[in-house]
Structure 1
Amino acid sequence: MSLARTSPERPALSVESADGTWTHYTVGELYERVAATAAYALAADPPGGDHTLVALPNGEGLVRAVLASWMLGRTPMLTPPEATDPEKRVLSMGLGRKTQEAFIWSESTLAAALEPDAPQPHFTPRGQEPPVTWYLPTGGSTGLPSLFPVSPRPATVLTGARRLMKRTGWSPEAVQLSLGPLSHTAPLTMCMAGITGGAHVVMLRRLDPASLESTVNRFAPTWCQLTPHQMSLIDAHKGLWDALSRSLIGMLHTSAPCPDEVKRRWISRLGAERVHETYSSTQAVGATLCDGDEWLAHPGTVGRPFLSNQVLIADEEGRSLPPGDVGEVCMRSEWTDLFAGEDVRRVRSGGDDFLGVGDLGYTDSDGYLYLTGRLDDIILVGGANVSAREVENVLLAHPDVLEVVVVKRLDPLMGHVIHAVMVPSDLASPPGIEGLRRHCLRSLSPYKVPWAVDWVENLPRSHAGKVERFLRG
């Protein structure tokens, strides 16, 4: 880290512990801890494989493990610390010797690395970054996830992230709030890009409105990355809003479905110039971006291609579709061949490659992208295709429905039928099925209307705040 030479006293990371106290690290302190950790791993595993395993909760330890891996020229493979044994087996399926030979970062090895009597051989960073930045879970919306390699070297990934972040109000002087789990793409990428770019990253223990309000008042963060679910949780707390409005220069949210009214309130309260949305994928083969003004002019969009990125809406044969027609969302950029490994499906061959990311959508005449669902969200009802996302959007327009996920249920006559699992505004008095069906029939054909509903207190979510759709049906 060149910052350790030029600005060792600069704040780098503040982490909240389980008891609510904060620990702070300067750039110089963090670098020394990373170097000691890398030296310890080198002494413990002299031959060294090309990979490390990281299954740690958010905190300085996880950040240190990733940075030490890179310092050793190794690629970290990150898994959620709460993953079950079956999930871990599926995550590592197909990686073979990569996981068998990997050095395992744990709470105990990270602590041992900083003991006064820890082995400290002469250690000089390789200076050669690993060819793959990290392996991260992907595919969690369709089934148990697998680990996917992001192929460029760390400097390439983090430089690209900072180019995007700078367009949304981030700067090397930022106080950057980090809320999401670091085993997921956006929170990890933004956190590491911030730390290595000079920002002061503030990492909370959990997303609790009272704790978050105290943190905002204490650190006055100027930039953050959020999910729509986190935006919804923050939405109802006026004191938190007042604090955020005083300090935030910009925020960036990722493109899971964001309720229209929540997005509009964020724009109204913070100002359109401070609210930004991006769309990408774990494969990181492209990105779109829009600010609040663009979103208000094109409601529901996830933006236009950012810088060199391009978007193609393709039919089943990989042919380009015109604006307004729904097809698979495919992307490419100047880094496409660097990012994309063999695991990514190439939609068109030769020098005109676009890479499919599994989402469905369309573009308008101005080039703005809209998402309509996923390829695997299509439910076959009596031989007709039904988009689960389309049905969910209609149900979310009902005033008494807060959240919904549409699932398929086996039916001896139709093959499958539509079933909705919903969170009502009042669990004690949810809407009746007939009223919901009448509401849906105003916008949907009869075969798309749910045949049955379940009312629940909340939907199952991952640590990243995404509904765990692999639990459906």
Structure 2
Amino acid sequence: MSFHPSAHARTNPDKPAVIMGSSGEVVTYGELDAASNRFAQLLRARGLQIGDTVALCFDNNPVFFALCWGAQRAGVIYVAISSRLTPPEVAYIVQDSGSRLLVSNNAFAPLLDAVAQALPDLPQLRLDGTGDHDLIAALAAMPAEPIGDERAGIDMLYSSGTTGKPKGVRVPLPEDPAIGAPNGLVDIARGAFGFHADTVYLSPAPLYHAAPLRWCLTVHRIGGTVVCMEKFDPEHALQLIERYRVTESQWVPTHFVRLLKLDEAVRHRYDLSSLACAVHAAAPCPVPVKQAMIEWWGPILREYYAGTEGNGFTFISSQEWLQRPGSVGRALLGTIRICDEAGDEVPRGIEGQVFFEGASTFSYHNDPEKTRDATNKHGWTSLGDVGRQDEDGYLFLTDRKSFMIISGGVNIYPQEIENLLVTHPKVADVAVIGAPDADMGERVVAVVQPADFAMAGPALAAELTEWLSPQLSRVKMPRQIDFRAELPREPTGKLFKRLLRDEYKTAATAV
């Protein structure tokens, strides 16, 4: 059995592979197959061979899927780049990855022109481009038949740089060269999450990130339909579930928070009865938020913990979670190992750094030091998270090790404080960081985005402090609450906490 959109193009060419949420544009499996063949042909015509790298800088655009599948069937490594990055950041990723071609959208012309100035020898093709940059004309000149040397390629995705310069996660080309060979995510999607050929999958997040891209392509492998939102809007997401009878979907906790803050009348205006599975991941979900989502949508939430690195994968159903609130489940891929600072495993119930043993291997491209830092003396690998396992092997995440605050010698993990504050009705978003403190080393600072910025000020800070007091020990209480109109988040919901920490560190140094 072939798990590839080309197989579905042969058996069901008119079936929608992609439906765009706002425009309503439909790409059938037949169209997706032809376009991906043309891009594979184009890559060969441009001299890209098996194992070479191409960079794709797009927003959520239907063309992006054809380019990914074209690179995949050409045995090429494809690097997805955010169109929201600056020219130096894009140029860095293109150079670091060794990409031989940059394909993008002329809607980002100022960005692309600046990259061209920095990298004048790098060829570019642009959707809606002109002359030598015209992607559509270049594709139209290619045959729609498969290339003669098809071989499975793979992505190389870059971390979003929340804790430093982004690094590419490099994994080997698949051992099985067949483009339709199953992979671990196909098995998990069909097994733990119940995806099938009739799946209608809502994807609300940017495709240049690992989970949205890989899960959408997995739906294509299985033969389902991807409903892709150009940009997330909570009410529009509900509208799309009703309109297309969405059966499966994937979210991050920030999406849930925004959905729950809709007016009650809006939340219950739409028919969501088709939704059989709501997958979520990317960050620990505050217990009250997930509880409220299960009460609203029913026990259809299914959570996993994994990373771009693919070194492990946990899973938990709603039913299991209700018995163990806050857990991200047990391992489906790899064996969980909770380790102390020396890299040795600690007993169940004790907190430590989360490692996985026995899953796939990876490295950080051009960064052997970071690769070594992610691997302990036993050869187990970590994403840098801290947590504990209960007696039954269920994992509970505490926070990122790099975000830990050390105040007066006490280790404080911001996630617990953030999970409480974000449930306050006057709080839209929050980041808790450690700011330099002459006496304590670091002090706990909460940076809050109010639901209404007009409320920002000492009165709201006092209200939040009073509200937190019965729920947090004194050492964890924020010593300072500041307000921002918006926090620096990726569209995926990932917080650029490093930027806030650097800002407070710079301010302290100046003083």
Q: Distance in 2 between matches of 1:210 and 1:402?
A: 16
Normalised TM-score (structure 1): 0.87
Matched, 1:230 2:235: no
Q: Distance in 2 between matches of 1:298 and 1:332?
A: 24
Q: Residue in 2 aligned with 1:135?
A: 156
Q: Residue in 1 aligned with 2:276?
A: 249
Q: Distance in 2 between matches of 1:290 and 1:69?
A: 33
Does structure 2 retain, via aligned residues, the 8 Å contact 1:52–1:103?
no
Matched, 1:276 2:302: yes
Structure 1 residue 455: Cα displacement: 1.9
Q: 2:168 pairs with 147, 164, 172, which one?
A: 147
Q: Distance in 1 between matches of 2:10 and 2:346?
A: 52
Q: Distance in 1 between matches of 2:268 and 2:195?
A: 19
Structure 1 unaligned regions, length at least 5: none
Structure 1 residue 22: Cα displacement: 1.9
One-letter code of the match for 2:400?
R
Structure 1 residue 29: Cα displacement: 1.6
Structure 1 residue 48: Cα displacement: 8.1
Structure 1 residue 416: Cα displacement: 2.9
Does structure 1 retain, via aligned residues, the 8 Å contact 2:309–2:362?
no
Q: Residue in 1 aligned with 2:361?
A: 337
Q: Which deviates more from structure 2 when the two are superposed, residues 152-161 or residues 182-191?
A: 152-161
Q: Distance in 2 between matches of 1:402 and 1:113?
A: 46
One-letter code of the match for 1:199?
G
Q: Residue in 2 aligned with 1:165?
A: 189
Matched, 1:470 2:472: no
Does structure 2 retain, via aligned residues, the 8 Å contact 1:420–1:453?
yes
One-letter code of the match for 2:490?
S
Q: Residue in 1 aligned with 2:335?
A: 310
Q: Distance in 1 between matches of 2:444 and 2:418?
A: 11
Matched, 1:23 2:25: yes
Does structure 2 retain, via aligned residues, the 8 Å contact 1:142–1:469?
yes
Q: Residue in 2 aligned with 1:7?
A: 12
Q: Residue in 2 aligned with 1:43?
A: 45
Spell out, residue by residue over 1:164-199, the C-alpha distance to the aligned partner (whole angstroms, 9 max, x if none): 222223212111112110111110110011112200
Partner SS, residue 246 of structure 1: coil
Alignment CA distance shift 1:396-1:324 (3 Å): farther
Matched, 1:461 2:466: no
Q: Distance in 2 between matches of 1:93 and 1:241?
A: 49
Q: Distance in 2 between matches of 1:158 and 1:443?
A: 47
Q: Residue in 1 aligned with 2:245?
A: 220
Spell out, residue by residue over 1:62-91, the C-alpha distance to the aligned partner (whole angstroms, 9 max, x if none): 111111112222110111111112322454
Q: Which deviates more from structure 2 when the two are superposed, residues 47-56 or residues 392-401?
A: 392-401
Structure 1 residue 434: Cα displacement: 4.7
Kindly report the root-mean-square deviation, in angstroms, between the aligned alpha carbons of the 2 structures: 3.0
Structure 1 residue 396: Cα displacement: 4.4
Q: Residue in 1 aligned with 2:397?
A: 371
Q: Residue in 1 aligned with 2:315?
A: 289
Does structure 2 retain, via aligned residues, the 8 Å contact 1:87–1:144?
no
Q: Residue in 1 aligned with 2:86?
A: 84
Alignment CA distance shift 1:62-1:244 (3 Å): farther
Q: Residue in 1 aligned with 2:228?
A: 203
Q: Distance in 1 between matches of 2:394 and 2:70?
A: 40
Q: Distance in 2 between matches of 1:387 and 1:282?
A: 23
Does structure 1 retain, via aligned residues, the 8 Å contact 2:289–2:423?
no
Q: Residue in 2 aligned with 1:194?
A: 219
Normalised TM-score (structure 2): 0.81
Q: Distance in 2 between matches of 1:324 and 1:364?
A: 5
Structure 1 residue 269: Cα displacement: 2.5
Alignment CA distance shift 1:305-1:403 (3 Å): same
Q: Distance in 2 between matches of 1:6 and 1:122?
A: 16
Structure 1 residue 201: Cα displacement: 1.0
Q: 2:149 pairs with 114, 126, 129, which one?
A: 126
Does structure 2 retain, via aligned residues, the 8 Å contact 1:8–1:28?
yes
Q: Distance in 2 between matches of 1:135 and 1:232?
A: 30
Structure 1 residue 103: Cα displacement: 6.5
